Chains A and B, each alone.
Chain A
């Protein structure tokens, strides 16, 4: 419980007396590049294979004369929009971005860089962490939209190239019973997950003490706790918003 309390105090400190707006803007852009742009490659790889596999495996499980083939595309679309693109992408990002944030802040802590900021009278948590949190909340939805698009597109390629579904059936399936609200739901998830991953990882890194071993532990803790919180939040959002 004391850790949870400390986490909320830490969140409060992010919004304490801050620095000039121009400083935050510069830091925000840097973090968008560090967190968002540098994650495009891994997101593309993961969503490509998930899209292909989800199409082929759905087709494999739907061999029935009473189910139209276009249902494969419908399932691929809804799986991508509702679960695979937002949740799996964010679990991957929890590993990549979460460990990066925790190790960066942990190293800054043990090498006294955070102390140096505090001695200068700079709100170190706000200066270092707030831009990361905002950048994660801003770039994660974009990465998820990219992942969903790529997943559905690669599902189409995999389905048509292997002959499990025709182009006409796939196009028909992804348009069938489309609920625009699902797009909104898909974008809400990474917004929340981005906040959780960035704050939990920052918290782990910010309060690291000791040496290299503790930085490693903070990094592992950041990934583990971020993944657990993403999965819990995934369930809660599904309950609340669907």
Chain B
């Protein structure tokens, strides 16, 4: 479980996060939605330790990330898997080497153990045939799947996905969403997804948070989201003219 309390962050005096508080439960797919520039990615970076919040706390199963010593922070980091927006695969390494990288760097496993684990993760995301290919030789959707394989190779307790569907066609998006959902349930991971793709929200969202100009304006289940009375969320949800007409 991840608990964030009163997370605030400003850049050059401009408040990007204005005190976000929420709880993300284990085994659930938590989705943070909002328009561009609302602070979703900054919030994610605050949670994974890439950007230090000005105030507030991030608790991983009760351990306060920013008030822990370096060793505790390191052990929390090793329990995280992150899927970056563009995949963030290492260009100079093959797909297999990318997935194997955390094992090489952070574990003392034998070569065969690592190979087995990498083969399992690649098979889990359906990319065993692409193991020897370079990132430049695979499609955007495949890069995301390699990113997922790399994120889960260390058996993470927490999975963070930054816009996993950006730049993908609707069919591939659904496949990526389903994969994330399956992995979350299968390994009882606490998953947090940043997105502005409403398909993802309605497909796999269990706990949904809506951010608007650095504030949390709404939190709830996907079944309740369409009944919202928050005007900013209504505007976000029904930005499509067709959907607006259907809602009426």
Contact = CB atoms under 8 A, between A and B. Distances in A.
Interface of A: 17, 19-20, 23, 107-108, 111-113, 115-116, 118-122, 127
Contacts of A120: 77-78, 102, 105-106
A113 B90 contact: yes
A30 to B, nearest CB: 9
16 contacts: A17-B70, A23-B105, A107-B91, A111-B88, A112-B86, A112-B88, A113-B88, A116-B82, A116-B84, A118-B49, A118-B50, A119-B48, A119-B82, A120-B77, A120-B102, A121-B77
B86 A121 contact: no
Contact of A121 (B78, B85, B88): B78
A122 B88 contact: no
A119 B50 contact: yes
A107 B92 CA distance: 12
B74 interface: yes
B86 to A, nearest CB: 6
Given A119-B49, A119-B50, A121-B74, A112 B84 contact: yes
B105 A119 contact: no
Contacts, number: 46
Interface in B52-89: 70, 73-74, 77-78, 80, 82, 84-86, 88-89
Interface residues of B, number: 21
Contacts of A20: 105
B88 A116 contact: yes
Contacts of B86: 111-112
Given A119-B50, A121-B74, 13 more contacts: A23-B105, A107-B91, A113-B90, A113-B91, A115-B50, A115-B84, A116-B88, A119-B49, A119-B80, A120-B77, A120-B106, A121-B78, A127-B105
B75 to A, nearest CB: 8
A102 to B, nearest CB: 16
A229 B112 CA distance: 48
Interface in B200-239: none
A113 B85 CA distance: 11
A119 B90 CA distance: 14
Contacts of A122: 105-106
A115 B88 contact: yes
A108 B84 CA distance: 13
Contacts of B178: none
B71 to A, nearest CB: 10
B104 interface: yes
A141 B78 CA distance: 40
B103 to A, nearest CB: 11
B102 to A, nearest CB: 6
B98 to A, nearest CB: 10
B138 to A, nearest CB: 15
Contacts of B106: 120-122
A130 to B, nearest CB: 14
Contacts of B73: 121
A200 to B, nearest CB: 23
Contacts of B77: 119-121
Interface in B82-118: 82, 84-86, 88-91, 102, 104-106
Contacts of B104: 23
